[in-house]
């Protein structure tokens, strides 16, 4: 989706607001939203790509206006309702539906170190790479309506495969729970001039991690 | 209590644009929800947590443990130790650049949002800068959770199109003959910059060096510098 979250190359967003000695969470509720997001994920009703996509679906004006963890809150509520973990009626009333047995939390304190170990998007599968290190490639010109990790600023641009990172889950399908479609990710080097024109520094480059499905031979 | 929690959660839904039709199918409900949008997300979060706890979906003690991890156990001190080790142990540095996951795990770090690490080295001729233009991807196990500026529109938008201007805003003027490499970490690879060891630090121990290494230097928006004369290091 060509959403406002795809910010690379936008201009006039103002100065970078730097805060010295910034706390991990500015308010207690930010930590609670962060933790609620992690704890509800332990039910395995969605994955990290779905989680990112849920935040991308926030209306653009709201996305730009609200704080980071307010976006997390909005994204989480959407997923809870979408997956049926919480019904719209329960959201309406603020109370659990009557007659439904209380669940046992998927994540207990003793299991927190386990989720902190991470979740792996890399797959040990023998999927043949479509491209080789050193090869010239072009980022496909595609404009899917769903989730994608191919930024707009790279589409149609040519680059060189710098390294092959191995086989990973494909977010465009995984975000909508349509399958992992595992394929290679490459680090592709795009020169600043290819991306931004002749005014860019001749020495600079952007390296983007690109899945096989984002690339075509140049 | 019931009324207020209802309003608060409805507001969260409206903010998300989620389940809008099913929750607020009737026009007067829709208007009601807008009027009820509370300014304080703290109350909305509290209402959501209460609902999830009552349904048995989350354990508040698990939430406490998660928060404790990122407030007290994981942060840029971890990354600084990795950098200091690489500066003082050439064999470690070689392993770090070749297979960052294993080398970082040697020091006991790894996990969520750092499952697939890549370390990129700054030299007198190459400077590296890390961004995520699409969201906020960041190597949690070695740097902790990202600061607000990293997640915000000004940095995300300009780091790829005007990286030298961004660095200048951080007070770092990069010489024209230095190659600038921007790593837009939009996949599941997570990048850590190995900064240059400052000249004049030759006699410092690994532990002393670790105190010099900042989060900003490991993102690539700063260099590592020695403390002013008479400083603590």
Q: Is B126 on the interface with A (CB under 8 A)?
A: no
In a domain, A16, yes or no: no
Phi, psi dihedral angles at B117 (to 5 degrees) = -90, 145
Q: Is B113 on the interface with A (CB under 8 A)?
A: yes
In a domain, A48, yes or no: yes
Interface test with A, best of B62, B167, B219 (most A CBs within 10 A): B62
Same domain membership, residue A43 and residue A78: yes
CA–CA min distance B87, chain A (Å) = 25
Task: Please give the residue range of the domain that contains residue A201.
Answer: 136-217
CA–CA min distance B68, chain A (Å) = 9
In a domain, A123, yes or no: no
In a domain, A17, yes or no: no
Same domain membership, residue A149 and residue A71: no
DSSP chain A: ---TT--TT----------TT--S-SSHHHHHHHHHHHHHHTT-SS-HHHHHHHHHTS-HHHHHHS-HHHHHHHHHHHHHHHTTSS-HHHHHHSSPPTTPPPP--S--GGGHHHHHT----B----PPPSS-TT-EEEE-----SS-----GGGTT-EEEEEEEEEEE--HHHHTTTS----EEEEEEEEEHHHHH-TTS-TT-EEEEEEEGGGEEE-
Interface pTM (ipTM) of the complex? Answer: 0.97
The per-residue pLDDT for range A123-179, each reduced to its tens digit, is 999 999 999 999 999 999 999 999 999 999 999 999 999 999 999 999 999 999 999
Same domain membership, residue A108 and residue A32: yes
Same domain membership, residue A195 and residue A141: yes
Residues of A within 8 A of B110 (CB-CB) are: 117-118
What pLDDT, on the 0 to 100 scale, is given for residue B21? 34
In a domain, A121, yes or no: no
In a domain, A6, yes or no: no
Report the CATH number that the domain containing residue A200 is assigned in CATH: 2.30.30.50
In a domain, A172, yes or no: yes
Average pLDDT value for residue range A170-193: 97
In a domain, A86, yes or no: yes
What pLDDT, on the 0 to 100 scale, is given for residue B14? 47
- Domain B75-219, what fold? Nitrile Hydratase; Chain A (3.90.330)
What pLDDT, on the 0 to 100 scale, is given for residue B16? 46
Same domain membership, residue A177 and residue A98: no
Average pLDDT value for residue range A181-202: 98
For residue B50, indicate whether it is catalytic: no
Minimal Cβ distance to B157: which of A13, A34, A116 = A13
Per-residue pLDDT of chain B in tens (233 residues, 90 and over written 9): 444 555 555 555 544 444 333 333 333 344 344 444 445 899 889 999 999 999 999 999 999 999 999 999 999 999 999 999 999 999 999 999 999 999 999 999 998 899 999 999 999 999 999 999 999 999 999 999 999 999 999 999 999 999 999 999 999 999 999 999 999 999 999 999 999 999 999 999 999 999 999 999 999 999 999 988 755 54
The per-residue pLDDT for range A31-56, each reduced to its tens digit, is 999 999 999 999 999 999 999 999 99
Residues of B within 8 A of A31 (CB-CB) are: 67, 70-71
Residues of B within 8 A of A8 (CB-CB) are: 131, 133-134, 156-157, 159-161, 184
What pLDDT, on the 0 to 100 scale, is given for residue B39? 56
Locate CATH 3.90.330.10 in chain B: 75-219
Give A 113-152 residues with CB within 8 A of chain B: 115-122, 149, 151
When pLDDT is cut at 50, 70 and 90, the band that residue A115 belongs to is confident
For residue B137, indicate whether it is catalytic: yes
Share of chain A above pLDDT 70, in %: 100
Of A66, A87, A116, the residue at which a domain comes to its end is A116
A118:B114 CB<8 A: yes
For residue B201, indicate whether it is catalytic: no
Closest-approach residue (CA) in chain A for B182: A206
What pLDDT, on the 0 to 100 scale, is given for residue B15? 46
* Number of compact structural domains in chain A: 2
Same domain membership, residue A111 and residue A32: yes
What pLDDT, on the 0 to 100 scale, is given for residue B12? 53
């Amino acid at each position: 989706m060509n959403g406002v979250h795809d910010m690379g190359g936008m201009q006039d967003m103002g100065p970078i607001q730097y805060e010295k000695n910034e706390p991990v969470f500015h308010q207690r509720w930010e930590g609670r939203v962060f933790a609620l997001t992690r704890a509800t994920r332990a039910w395995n009703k969605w994955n990290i790509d779905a989680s990112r996509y849920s935040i991308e679906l926030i209306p653009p004006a709201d996305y730009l206006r609200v704080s980071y963890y307010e976006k997390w809150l909005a994204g989480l509520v959407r997923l809870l309702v979408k997956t049926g973990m919480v019904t719209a009626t329960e959201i309406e009333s603020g109370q659990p539906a009557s007659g439904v047995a209380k669940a046992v939390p998927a994540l207990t304190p003793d299991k927190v170190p386990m989720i902190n170990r991470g979740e792996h998007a890399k797959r040990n599968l023998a999927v043949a790479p479509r491209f080789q290190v050193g090869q010239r490639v072009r980022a496909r010109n595609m404009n899917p309506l769903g989730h994608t990790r191919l930024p707009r600023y790279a589409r149609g641009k040519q680059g060189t495969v710098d390294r092959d990172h191995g086989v990973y889950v494909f977010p465009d399908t995984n975000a909508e729970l349509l399958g992992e479609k595992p394929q290679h990710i490459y680090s592709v080097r795009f020169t600043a001039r290819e991306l931004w024109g002749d005014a860019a520094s001749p020495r600079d480059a952007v390296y983007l991690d690109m899945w096989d499905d984002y690339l075509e031979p140049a | 209590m019931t009324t207020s929690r209802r309003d608060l959660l409805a507001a969260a839904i409206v903010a998300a644009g989620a389940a809008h039709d099913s929750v607020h199918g009737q026009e007067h409900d829709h208007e009601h929800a807008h009027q009820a949008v509370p300014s304080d997300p703290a109350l909305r979060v509290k209402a959501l947590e209460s609902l999830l706890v009552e349904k048995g979906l989350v354990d508040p003690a698990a939430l406490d443990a998660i928060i404790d991890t990122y407030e007290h156990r994981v942060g840029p001190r971890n990354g600084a130790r990795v950098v200091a080790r690489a500066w003082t142990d050439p064999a470690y540095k070689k392993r770090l650049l070749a297979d960052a996951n294993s080398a970082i795990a040697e020091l006991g770090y790894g996990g969520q949002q750092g499952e697939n690490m890549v370390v990129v080295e700054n030299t007198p001729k190459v400077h590296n800068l890390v961004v995520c233009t699409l969201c906020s991807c960041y190597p949690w196990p070695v740097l902790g959770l990202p600061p607000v500026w990293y997640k915000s529109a000004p940095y995300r938008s300009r780091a790829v199109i005007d990286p030298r201007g961004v660095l200048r805003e951080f007070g770092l003027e990069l010489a024209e003959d230095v190659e600038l490499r921007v790593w837009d970490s939009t996949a599941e690879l997570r990048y850590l910059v190995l900064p240059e060891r400052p000249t004049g630090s030759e006699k410092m121990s690994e532990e002393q060096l670790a105190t010099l290494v900042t989060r900003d230097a490991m993102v690539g928006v700063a260099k590592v510098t020695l403390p002013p004369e008479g400083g603590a290091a």
